Chain A
């Protein structure tokens, strides 16, 4: 609206003597008398500002589309493909990300547990089960934003080679702030939301994400929270 002032300001210039009431009358007069040019400037300014702001919002942070929900996990099969959607390409370009190509592997992320509650660093979770067939995989945890200074990094994740398994080949990872027996994955921060990433390397699942179901990905169960 402010951009319209220079265009139709000439009509209202005389009424600027009494500052406060003058301004109100000026705006009212502008409203009544707004010329086509003023409206055009208004429309252009609105379109430009809203368009750029929404484009910035849509390409900031994670991928807005292209995820395939598998249980609590979201698979991103097309993130690195040449036919990825324009939003995914824009997100990759802005972050400098090099996504896994379809022939390389598949990324799955989880921001909430099986009940749909957001993963919290103060809570204890059991992440257990099997993974889709893959030559190697890693399961990692990360908090949003930069790392807390002074907090030692004990462990950020497990690889398929080093993880302790039960006799049937399945595994259980405990994501907890306190020490746990077995595969303990320390919470990356004291509080706040955390995200899990499961990266499958050299996997046939990358080409057929539709074949994945709840039972083929690790289940994430909340056991309790420190108050």
Chain B
């Protein structure tokens, strides 16, 4: 009897150690396996050339739509996401700054890896290019020495992720403008097949929007 219960105690201890291992493995696996995380949910915006609004602030009598998946959104901040898949080419995000505070943050599965606000804008335009290491090297090699590109180039840790655009409406009267400013940002995929001069053209087109 004594021996058996001792064996039972050992089995319980072993079970607890196993529980610890399973716990750690499960916590580490959740971000990888989750289908409700922001990266997976933002996937639907990949085909759009402007951010998909995921939280539009309430304007006048229009309440903000309940389908927004942010758990506790800020009622004064309009949010949009642009998903990217860098295997299709680098992603270019262009924003024109207005009177409202705007911020861009690039997220991958592990979290945000870059964030910038409209105070970093050059002549009222904010241009972000998100690329892989290989695409970055290619862009550097293609650069014209006399006319360096003014883009902010960011190397992404993963091929997939999203850029989140936030616009703050300080006053209720600014809310329609905040929702519109989200839509005015452009998120386009740069074509990489072009040679250097063509690449420059597409750069010009991107900023001109």
Contacts and interface: CB of A to CB of B under 8 A. Distances in A.
Contacts of A32: 1, 4
Contacts of B23: 50-52, 54-55, 58
- Report the contact-size class of chain B (Cβ under 8 Å from the partner): 35 or more
Contacts, number: 198
A199 interface: yes
Contacts of B108: 82
Nearest to B18: A47
Interface in A47-98: 47-52, 54-56, 58-59, 80-84, 86-87, 89-90, 92-98
B122 interface: no
B111 interface: yes
Interface residues of A, number: 62
B37 A103 contact: no
Contact of A104 (B8, B27, B38, B103): B103
A51 B26 contact: yes
Interface string A149-191: 0000100110111100000000000000000000000000000
Contact of B74 (A47, A54, A140): A140
Interface string B37-53: 11001000000000000
B70 A51 contact: no
B7 A90 contact: no
A140 B58 CA distance: 15
Contacts of A156: 75
B124 interface: no
Nearest to A42: B11
A133 to B, nearest CB: 14
A46 B12 contact: yes
A186 to B, nearest CB: 13
A90 B34 CA distance: 9
A169 to B, nearest CB: 16
A39 B105 contact: no
Given A46-B16, A136-B101, A199 B74 contact: yes
B172 to A, nearest CB: 7
Interface in B160-192: 164, 166, 168-172
Contacts of A58: 23, 27
Contact of B170 (A33, A96, A103, A159): A159
A139 to B, nearest CB: 10
Given A55-B23, A81-B111, A90-B31, A43 B18 contact: yes
Nearest to A105: B103
A99 interface: yes
A26 interface: no
A131 interface: no
Contact of A197 (B70, B72, B170): B72
7 contacts: A43-B15, A50-B23, A56-B26, A58-B27, A86-B27, A96-B70, A136-B168
Ranked nearest first, the 9 interchain pairs of A and B with the lowest CB-CB distance are: A47-B18, A51-B22, A161-B170, A46-B15, A103-B115, A101-B112, A55-B26, A50-B19, A101-B115
